[in-house]
Amino acid sequence: MESEFTRIPLDRLRYGLVWEGHATLHAALQLAPDDHALVITSAGCNALNALLAGPRQVTAIDLNPVQNELLALKAHVIRHHAPAVLRGLLGLAGPAAVAAAGAALRATLPAAAYARWADFLRQYPGGLLLAGQLEGYVTGFVPSLPLAWQLRLRQLLACRTVAEQHAYFRQVLDQPDFRERFIAYFDAANLSQGRDPRLYSYTGETGGATFYQRLARQLGQQLARHNFFFRFLFFGPEGLPEAILPPCYQAAHHARLRHYLPRLRLVVGEATEYLLSEAGQDVNKASLSNIFEYVSPAEFERVSTALANQRATRPLRAVFWNLLQRQAPGRVAGVPLLPAASARLSQHDACFYFGSVRLLDYGGQPVAQQPLTTTVHLTSPTP
Protein backbone atom coordinates (compact mmCIF):
# COMPACT_ATOMS: atom_id res chain seq x y z
CA MET A 1 0.00 0.00 0.00
CA GLU A 2 1.31 3.45 -0.90
CA SER A 3 1.31 4.97 2.56
CA GLU A 4 2.95 8.09 3.93
CA PHE A 5 3.91 5.98 6.94
CA THR A 6 6.56 4.23 4.84
CA ARG A 7 8.31 7.59 4.32
CA ILE A 8 9.02 8.41 7.95
CA PRO A 9 11.86 7.06 10.13
CA LEU A 10 10.85 3.88 11.93
CA ASP A 11 13.60 3.97 14.52
CA ARG A 12 11.80 5.03 17.69
CA LEU A 13 8.72 4.24 19.75
CA ARG A 14 5.95 6.34 18.25
CA TYR A 15 3.10 4.95 20.35
CA GLY A 16 3.16 3.90 24.00
CA LEU A 17 -0.59 3.25 24.03
CA VAL A 18 -3.19 1.90 21.61
CA TRP A 19 -5.87 4.59 21.31
CA GLU A 20 -8.43 2.40 19.57
CA GLY A 21 -10.82 1.12 22.22
CA HIS A 22 -10.85 -2.59 23.03
CA ALA A 23 -14.65 -2.61 23.40
CA THR A 24 -15.03 -1.29 19.86
CA LEU A 25 -12.62 -3.92 18.54
CA HIS A 26 -14.51 -6.75 20.22
CA ALA A 27 -17.93 -5.46 19.16
CA ALA A 28 -16.75 -5.06 15.57
CA LEU A 29 -14.91 -8.35 15.11
CA GLN A 30 -16.84 -10.64 17.49
CA LEU A 31 -13.80 -12.88 17.85
CA ALA A 32 -14.54 -16.60 18.07
CA PRO A 33 -12.38 -19.66 18.91
CA ASP A 34 -11.79 -20.53 15.24
CA ASP A 35 -10.73 -17.01 14.21
CA HIS A 36 -7.30 -15.83 13.13
CA ALA A 37 -7.09 -12.11 13.87
CA LEU A 38 -4.61 -9.69 12.36
CA VAL A 39 -4.06 -6.67 14.62
CA ILE A 40 -1.87 -3.62 14.07
CA THR A 41 0.72 -3.87 16.85
CA SER A 42 1.15 -0.21 17.79
CA ALA A 43 1.78 -0.46 21.55
CA GLY A 44 0.43 -4.02 21.70
CA CYS A 45 -2.65 -3.31 23.83
CA ASN A 46 -5.23 -4.54 21.31
CA ALA A 47 -3.20 -7.54 20.20
CA LEU A 48 -3.28 -8.62 23.85
CA ASN A 49 -6.94 -7.65 24.22
CA ALA A 50 -7.75 -9.75 21.17
CA LEU A 51 -5.93 -12.71 22.75
CA LEU A 52 -8.22 -12.48 25.76
CA ALA A 53 -11.16 -13.41 23.52
CA GLY A 54 -9.48 -16.76 22.89
CA PRO A 55 -9.17 -16.85 19.08
CA ARG A 56 -7.13 -19.57 17.42
CA GLN A 57 -4.34 -17.10 16.57
CA VAL A 58 -3.51 -13.41 16.81
CA THR A 59 -0.93 -12.00 14.41
CA ALA A 60 0.37 -8.60 15.48
CA ILE A 61 1.86 -6.64 12.58
CA ASP A 62 3.63 -3.30 12.35
CA LEU A 63 5.92 -1.54 9.92
CA ASN A 64 7.90 -0.25 12.88
CA PRO A 65 10.00 -3.02 14.50
CA VAL A 66 10.32 -0.94 17.67
CA GLN A 67 6.58 -1.30 18.28
CA ASN A 68 6.89 -5.07 17.99
CA GLU A 69 9.79 -5.03 20.43
CA LEU A 70 7.55 -3.26 22.92
CA LEU A 71 4.86 -5.93 22.56
CA ALA A 72 7.49 -8.67 22.87
CA LEU A 73 8.63 -7.11 26.17
CA LYS A 74 5.05 -7.04 27.49
CA ALA A 75 4.56 -10.67 26.45
CA HIS A 76 7.78 -11.56 28.27
CA VAL A 77 6.62 -9.81 31.43
CA ILE A 78 3.21 -11.49 31.31
CA ARG A 79 4.86 -14.88 30.86
CA HIS A 80 7.58 -14.54 33.53
CA HIS A 81 6.41 -11.99 36.10
CA ALA A 82 3.54 -11.11 38.41
CA PRO A 83 0.90 -8.52 37.44
CA ALA A 84 2.55 -5.92 39.68
CA VAL A 85 5.65 -5.89 37.46
CA LEU A 86 3.59 -5.19 34.35
CA ARG A 87 1.65 -2.49 36.18
CA GLY A 88 4.90 -0.95 37.37
CA LEU A 89 6.51 -0.94 33.92
CA LEU A 90 3.47 0.71 32.38
CA GLY A 91 3.76 3.63 34.79
CA LEU A 92 0.43 3.03 36.52
CA ALA A 93 2.00 3.17 39.99
CA GLY A 94 4.47 6.02 39.51
CA PRO A 95 8.20 6.39 38.73
CA ALA A 96 9.45 4.46 41.76
CA ALA A 97 7.42 1.42 40.69
CA VAL A 98 8.75 1.80 37.13
CA ALA A 99 12.31 1.59 38.45
CA ALA A 100 11.51 -1.40 40.67
CA ALA A 101 9.78 -3.26 37.85
CA GLY A 102 12.68 -2.52 35.53
CA ALA A 103 15.10 -3.98 38.05
CA ALA A 104 12.98 -7.15 38.26
CA LEU A 105 13.60 -7.77 34.56
CA ARG A 106 17.26 -8.56 35.28
CA ALA A 107 16.26 -12.00 36.54
CA THR A 108 14.47 -13.10 33.34
CA LEU A 109 15.84 -11.15 30.36
CA PRO A 110 19.11 -11.98 28.60
CA ALA A 111 21.86 -9.58 29.68
CA ALA A 112 21.91 -7.59 26.42
CA ALA A 113 18.12 -7.21 26.34
CA TYR A 114 18.04 -6.19 29.99
CA ALA A 115 20.72 -3.55 29.42
CA ARG A 116 18.78 -2.13 26.48
CA TRP A 117 15.47 -1.91 28.35
CA ALA A 118 17.13 -0.60 31.51
CA ASP A 119 18.60 2.23 29.47
CA PHE A 120 15.22 2.85 27.85
CA LEU A 121 13.50 3.14 31.23
CA ARG A 122 16.14 5.57 32.43
CA GLN A 123 15.19 7.75 29.46
CA TYR A 124 11.47 7.35 30.20
CA PRO A 125 11.13 7.11 33.99
CA GLY A 126 7.37 7.63 33.74
CA GLY A 127 6.93 4.16 32.25
CA LEU A 128 6.06 2.52 28.95
CA LEU A 129 2.69 4.22 28.46
CA LEU A 130 4.38 7.62 28.44
CA ALA A 131 7.35 6.58 26.30
CA GLY A 132 5.68 7.00 22.91
CA GLN A 133 6.17 10.18 20.90
CA LEU A 134 2.42 10.73 20.71
CA GLU A 135 1.82 10.17 24.42
CA GLY A 136 4.62 12.50 25.44
CA TYR A 137 2.91 15.20 23.41
CA VAL A 138 -0.76 14.74 24.30
CA THR A 139 -0.18 14.33 28.03
CA GLY A 140 1.72 17.62 28.04
CA PHE A 141 -1.47 19.63 27.53
CA VAL A 142 -2.72 19.83 31.10
CA PRO A 143 0.70 20.72 32.62
CA SER A 144 0.84 23.57 30.09
CA LEU A 145 -2.33 25.12 31.57
CA PRO A 146 -2.49 27.61 34.43
CA LEU A 147 -3.17 25.81 37.71
CA ALA A 148 -6.73 27.17 37.91
CA TRP A 149 -7.66 25.49 34.63
CA GLN A 150 -5.97 22.25 35.70
CA LEU A 151 -8.11 22.12 38.83
CA ARG A 152 -11.30 22.94 36.93
CA LEU A 153 -10.57 20.23 34.41
CA ARG A 154 -9.92 17.63 37.12
CA GLN A 155 -13.25 18.51 38.72
CA LEU A 156 -14.91 16.74 35.76
CA LEU A 157 -13.98 13.48 37.46
CA ALA A 158 -16.22 14.36 40.41
CA CYS A 159 -19.33 14.41 38.20
CA ARG A 160 -21.58 11.42 38.87
CA THR A 161 -23.90 11.64 35.86
CA VAL A 162 -23.44 12.56 32.22
CA ALA A 163 -25.99 15.37 32.58
CA GLU A 164 -24.10 16.87 35.52
CA GLN A 165 -20.83 16.51 33.64
CA HIS A 166 -22.13 18.12 30.45
CA ALA A 167 -23.60 21.05 32.39
CA TYR A 168 -20.29 21.54 34.24
CA PHE A 169 -18.36 21.52 30.98
CA ARG A 170 -20.63 24.09 29.35
CA GLN A 171 -20.81 26.38 32.35
CA VAL A 172 -17.24 26.18 33.70
CA LEU A 173 -14.83 24.79 31.11
CA ASP A 174 -16.25 25.83 27.77
CA GLN A 175 -14.86 29.34 28.02
CA PRO A 176 -12.84 31.27 25.39
CA ASP A 177 -9.56 31.02 27.30
CA PHE A 178 -9.72 27.24 27.80
CA ARG A 179 -11.07 26.64 24.30
CA GLU A 180 -8.32 28.71 22.68
CA ARG A 181 -5.59 27.01 24.72
CA PHE A 182 -6.88 23.57 23.77
CA ILE A 183 -7.20 24.40 20.07
CA ALA A 184 -3.77 26.01 19.92
CA TYR A 185 -2.09 23.06 21.66
CA PHE A 186 -3.64 20.43 19.38
CA ASP A 187 -3.67 22.42 16.14
CA ALA A 188 -1.60 21.65 13.05
CA ALA A 189 1.32 23.83 14.12
CA ASN A 190 1.91 21.64 17.19
CA LEU A 191 0.69 18.23 16.03
CA SER A 192 4.13 17.45 14.60
CA GLN A 193 5.35 17.08 18.19
CA GLY A 194 3.20 13.97 18.45
CA ARG A 195 3.25 12.70 14.85
CA ASP A 196 5.42 13.28 11.83
CA PRO A 197 3.76 16.06 9.74
CA ARG A 198 3.95 13.83 6.66
CA LEU A 199 1.23 11.71 8.24
CA TYR A 200 -1.25 14.55 7.71
CA SER A 201 -0.84 14.76 3.92
CA TYR A 202 -4.43 13.71 3.22
CA THR A 203 -6.32 15.13 6.19
CA GLY A 204 -9.36 17.23 5.45
CA GLU A 205 -9.79 18.81 8.89
CA THR A 206 -7.60 20.82 11.23
CA GLY A 207 -6.65 19.24 14.51
CA GLY A 208 -7.43 21.57 17.40
CA ALA A 209 -10.94 22.78 16.59
CA THR A 210 -12.02 19.32 15.45
CA PHE A 211 -10.69 17.59 18.56
CA TYR A 212 -12.35 20.20 20.78
CA GLN A 213 -15.73 19.58 19.13
CA ARG A 214 -15.29 15.83 19.61
CA LEU A 215 -14.35 16.30 23.27
CA ALA A 216 -17.41 18.46 23.88
CA ARG A 217 -19.65 15.90 22.19
CA GLN A 218 -18.25 12.99 24.18
CA LEU A 219 -18.64 14.80 27.49
CA GLY A 220 -22.35 14.93 26.68
CA GLN A 221 -22.44 11.17 26.05
CA GLN A 222 -19.94 9.33 28.28
CA LEU A 223 -18.87 9.78 31.87
CA ALA A 224 -15.23 10.96 31.95
CA ARG A 225 -14.47 9.38 35.34
CA HIS A 226 -15.03 5.94 33.77
CA ASN A 227 -13.21 6.67 30.51
CA PHE A 228 -9.65 5.37 30.41
CA PHE A 229 -8.59 7.45 27.38
CA PHE A 230 -9.93 10.72 28.77
CA ARG A 231 -8.21 10.22 32.10
CA PHE A 232 -4.93 9.10 30.58
CA LEU A 233 -4.73 11.94 28.05
CA PHE A 234 -5.47 14.67 30.58
CA PHE A 235 -3.99 13.28 33.79
CA GLY A 236 -1.52 10.57 32.80
CA PRO A 237 -1.31 6.91 33.84
CA GLU A 238 -0.50 7.18 37.53
CA GLY A 239 -3.29 6.17 39.89
CA LEU A 240 -5.82 5.08 37.25
CA PRO A 241 -8.48 2.78 38.72
CA GLU A 242 -7.91 -0.88 37.87
CA ALA A 243 -11.46 -1.30 36.61
CA ILE A 244 -11.09 1.20 33.75
CA LEU A 245 -7.74 -0.08 32.43
CA PRO A 246 -7.64 -1.96 29.13
CA PRO A 247 -8.45 -5.58 30.06
CA CYS A 248 -4.99 -6.80 29.10
CA TYR A 249 -3.49 -4.64 31.86
CA GLN A 250 -5.89 -5.70 34.60
CA ALA A 251 -4.43 -8.14 37.12
CA ALA A 252 -7.55 -10.31 36.94
CA HIS A 253 -6.74 -11.23 33.32
CA HIS A 254 -3.00 -11.81 33.71
CA ALA A 255 -3.21 -15.61 34.04
CA ARG A 256 -5.58 -15.90 31.09
CA LEU A 257 -3.23 -13.85 28.91
CA ARG A 258 -0.30 -16.00 29.97
CA HIS A 259 -2.25 -19.09 28.91
CA TYR A 260 -3.00 -17.65 25.45
CA LEU A 261 0.44 -16.16 24.71
CA PRO A 262 1.52 -19.15 22.54
CA ARG A 263 -1.19 -18.06 20.09
CA LEU A 264 0.49 -14.68 19.54
CA ARG A 265 2.79 -14.12 16.56
CA LEU A 266 4.68 -10.95 15.65
CA VAL A 267 5.28 -9.80 12.09
CA VAL A 268 7.16 -6.77 10.75
CA GLY A 269 5.40 -5.61 7.63
CA GLU A 270 2.48 -3.73 6.12
CA ALA A 271 -0.96 -4.99 7.11
CA THR A 272 -2.83 -4.91 3.80
CA GLU A 273 0.14 -6.42 1.97
CA TYR A 274 0.12 -9.21 4.54
CA LEU A 275 -3.62 -9.78 4.04
CA LEU A 276 -3.04 -10.07 0.29
CA SER A 277 -0.07 -12.40 0.68
CA GLU A 278 -0.26 -16.19 0.86
CA ALA A 279 0.50 -16.05 4.59
CA GLY A 280 -2.47 -13.77 5.15
CA GLN A 281 -5.10 -15.99 3.61
CA ASP A 282 -5.75 -17.69 6.93
CA VAL A 283 -6.77 -14.38 8.53
CA ASN A 284 -10.52 -13.81 8.75
CA LYS A 285 -10.69 -10.87 11.19
CA ALA A 286 -8.55 -7.72 11.12
CA SER A 287 -8.17 -4.64 13.31
CA LEU A 288 -6.36 -2.07 11.19
CA SER A 289 -6.05 0.86 13.59
CA ASN A 290 -6.06 4.10 11.54
CA ILE A 291 -3.63 2.99 8.81
CA PHE A 292 -5.86 4.39 6.07
CA GLU A 293 -5.34 7.88 7.49
CA TYR A 294 -2.00 7.91 5.72
CA VAL A 295 -3.14 7.08 2.18
CA SER A 296 -5.11 8.90 -0.49
CA PRO A 297 -8.80 8.02 -1.00
CA ALA A 298 -7.88 6.55 -4.40
CA GLU A 299 -5.23 4.31 -2.83
CA PHE A 300 -7.63 3.21 -0.10
CA GLU A 301 -10.24 2.23 -2.69
CA ARG A 302 -7.61 0.41 -4.77
CA VAL A 303 -6.45 -1.65 -1.77
CA SER A 304 -10.01 -2.34 -0.67
CA THR A 305 -10.94 -3.48 -4.16
CA ALA A 306 -7.97 -5.85 -4.21
CA LEU A 307 -9.16 -7.34 -0.92
CA ALA A 308 -12.72 -7.62 -2.24
CA ASN A 309 -11.49 -9.60 -5.24
CA GLN A 310 -9.28 -11.90 -3.24
CA ARG A 311 -11.82 -12.44 -0.49
CA ALA A 312 -14.77 -13.31 -2.73
CA THR A 313 -14.71 -16.86 -1.34
CA ARG A 314 -12.65 -16.28 1.83
CA PRO A 315 -14.56 -13.88 4.11
CA LEU A 316 -12.75 -11.14 5.98
CA ARG A 317 -14.21 -8.73 8.51
CA ALA A 318 -12.05 -5.65 9.09
CA VAL A 319 -12.40 -2.62 11.34
CA PHE A 320 -10.46 0.64 11.10
CA TRP A 321 -10.64 4.12 12.61
CA ASN A 322 -10.73 7.51 10.88
CA LEU A 323 -8.88 10.37 12.57
CA LEU A 324 -8.93 13.52 10.42
CA GLN A 325 -9.69 11.88 7.08
CA ARG A 326 -13.04 10.38 6.11
CA GLN A 327 -12.23 7.14 4.38
CA ALA A 328 -15.17 4.95 3.33
CA PRO A 329 -17.96 7.51 3.70
CA GLY A 330 -20.34 4.99 2.12
CA ARG A 331 -20.64 1.54 0.61
CA VAL A 332 -19.43 1.39 -3.01
CA ALA A 333 -18.03 -1.29 -5.29
CA GLY A 334 -14.88 -2.63 -3.68
CA VAL A 335 -15.60 -1.02 -0.28
CA PRO A 336 -18.07 -3.32 1.49
CA LEU A 337 -18.95 -0.96 4.34
CA LEU A 338 -21.50 -1.99 6.95
CA PRO A 339 -22.99 1.50 7.49
CA ALA A 340 -25.40 0.84 10.35
CA ALA A 341 -22.85 -1.13 12.37
CA SER A 342 -20.18 1.48 11.64
CA ALA A 343 -22.45 4.24 12.90
CA ARG A 344 -23.16 2.35 16.13
CA LEU A 345 -19.48 1.68 16.73
CA SER A 346 -18.62 5.32 16.07
CA GLN A 347 -21.21 6.55 18.52
CA HIS A 348 -19.93 4.41 21.38
CA ASP A 349 -16.16 4.45 20.74
CA ALA A 350 -14.32 5.25 23.97
CA CYS A 351 -11.75 7.71 22.59
CA PHE A 352 -12.95 11.16 21.52
CA TYR A 353 -9.69 11.53 19.55
CA PHE A 354 -11.14 9.61 16.56
CA GLY A 355 -13.75 10.81 14.10
CA SER A 356 -15.43 7.54 13.16
CA VAL A 357 -15.13 3.77 13.05
CA ARG A 358 -15.53 1.81 9.81
CA LEU A 359 -16.50 -1.86 9.64
CA LEU A 360 -15.96 -3.69 6.34
CA ASP A 361 -17.21 -7.17 5.50
CA TYR A 362 -15.45 -8.78 2.53
CA GLY A 363 -16.77 -11.89 0.87
CA GLY A 364 -19.06 -10.73 -1.92
CA GLN A 365 -18.57 -10.58 -5.67
CA PRO A 366 -15.19 -9.65 -7.19
CA VAL A 367 -14.73 -6.25 -8.84
CA ALA A 368 -12.10 -4.71 -11.13
CA GLN A 369 -8.72 -4.33 -9.46
CA GLN A 370 -5.10 -3.37 -10.03
CA PRO A 371 -2.28 -5.68 -8.88
CA LEU A 372 -0.57 -5.08 -5.55
CA THR A 373 2.94 -6.19 -4.62
CA THR A 374 3.30 -8.09 -1.36
CA THR A 375 6.47 -8.06 0.72
CA VAL A 376 6.35 -9.30 4.28
CA HIS A 377 9.25 -9.82 6.69
CA LEU A 378 8.74 -12.15 9.64
CA THR A 379 10.18 -11.68 13.09
CA SER A 380 11.03 -14.39 15.54
CA PRO A 381 8.28 -15.53 17.94
CA THR A 382 7.74 -13.59 21.15
CA PRO A 383 10.22 -14.51 23.88
Q: Which secondary structure element, helix H or strand E, spans residue 234, and what is its range?
A: helix 228-235
Residues 263 and 346 in one domain: yes
* The pLDDT value given to residue 294: 87
Residue 56 domain flag: yes
Residue 102 domain flag: no
Cα 231 from Cα 237, distance rounded (Å)? 8
Residues 254 and 352 in one domain: yes
pTM of this structure: 0.91
Domain total in the chain? 2
pLDDT exceeds cutoff 80 at 72: yes
The arithmetic mean of pLDDT across residues 28-53, rounded, is: 98
Residues 371 and 258 in one domain: yes
pLDDT tens per residue, range 81-112 = 999 999 999 999 999 999 999 999 999 999 99
Residues 255 and 370 in one domain: yes
Residue 112 domain flag: no
Residues 296 and 342 in one domain: yes
Q: From 209, 235, 261, give the residue that closes a domain.
A: 235
Q: From 206, 235, 264, give the residue that closes a domain.
A: 235
User: Is the CB of residue 322 less than 8 Å from the CB of residue 355?
Assistant: yes
Q: How far is CA 350 from the centre of its chain?
A: 11
Domain that holds residue 177: 141-235
Residues 368 and 290 in one domain: yes
User: Is the CB of residue 272 less than 8 Å from the CB of residue 307?
Assistant: yes
pLDDT exceeds cutoff 80 at 29: yes
Residue 17 domain flag: yes
Residue 269 domain flag: yes
DSSP 109-130: S-HHHHHHHHHHHHH-TT-GGG
pLDDT exceeds cutoff 70 at 197: no
Q: Which CATH number goes with the domain that contains 374? A: 3.40.50.150
User: Is the CB of residue 247 less than 8 Å from the CB of residue 22?
Assistant: yes
**N-term to C-term CA, the chain:** 30
Q: From 188, 209, 235, give the residue that closes a domain.
A: 235
Angle, helices 95-104/83-90, rounded to nearest 10 degrees: 130
Residue 65 domain flag: yes
Residues 226 and 263 in one domain: no
Residue 38 backbone class (left: φ over 0; alpha: ψ -120 to 50; beta: rest): beta
Cα 343 from Cα 322, distance rounded (Å)? 12
Residues 262 and 365 in one domain: yes
Distances (CA, A) of 40 to 155, 172, 241, 248, 320: 35, 39, 26, 16, 10
Residues 155 and 211 in one domain: yes
Residue 383 domain flag: no
pLDDT tens per residue, range 115-164 = 999 999 999 999 999 999 999 999 999 999 999 999 999 999 999 999 99
Residues 221 and 280 in one domain: no
pLDDT tens per residue, range 284-323 = 999 999 999 888 899 999 999 999 999 888 899 999 999 9
Residues 254 and 357 in one domain: yes
Residue 113 domain flag: no
Cα 164 from Cα 113, distance rounded (Å)? 49
Residues 286 and 315 in one domain: yes
Assign 340 a pLDDT band (cuts: 50, 70, 90). very high
